[in-house]
Amino acid sequence: MSHRLESQKILKAILANQFLLRDHAVQRSDERALSRQNVIHVASTVIEWKWQEDKQTHWFIGFLEEGQPGGFTAIRDEVEGVWVVTLFKRKLTRREKGLMK
């Protein structure tokens, strides 16, 4: 399956609130006061995504909430479904800001 199609399936599952958080994502959520709703908001506001070959994860950038950029990485397993590996806050790059226009 192509990485693009896989990413679309991940986003669809997250928008339907059908995903699990890996231990690392739970830890990061607790440290950064982030929630499942933030993951869903990123999925609904995706600016950019890519396949991370070295980490074997899909990386998504959007907004955790209005005005707060951030993102998450996720994987999809045919049996277990979608797992969010980590969740993070970050600033948008100049290029990413340009993608929003």
Q: What does the pLDDT read at residue 79?
A: 86
Q: What does the pLDDT read at residue 44?
A: 97
Q: What does the pLDDT read at residue 25?
A: 75
Q: What does the pLDDT read at residue 63?
A: 96
Residues 6+ apart with CB under 8 A from 92: 47, 61, 69, 100
53-59 LR contacts (CB < 8 Å, sep 24+): 57/85, 58/3, 58/6, 58/7, 58/10
Q: Residue 44's Cα: distance from chain center in Å?
A: 10
Please state, in angstroms and rounded to a whole number, the distance separating the CA atoms of residues 45 and 47. 6
Joined tokens for residue 60:
């998504």
Q: What does the pLDDT read at residue 75?
A: 95
pLDDT per residue as tens, the chain (101 positions): 799 999 999 999 999 999 998 877 778 777 777 889 999 999 999 999 999 999 999 999 999 999 999 999 999 998 889 999 999 999 998 998 888 87
Domains (ranges, CATH) in the chain?
3-99 (3.30.2310)
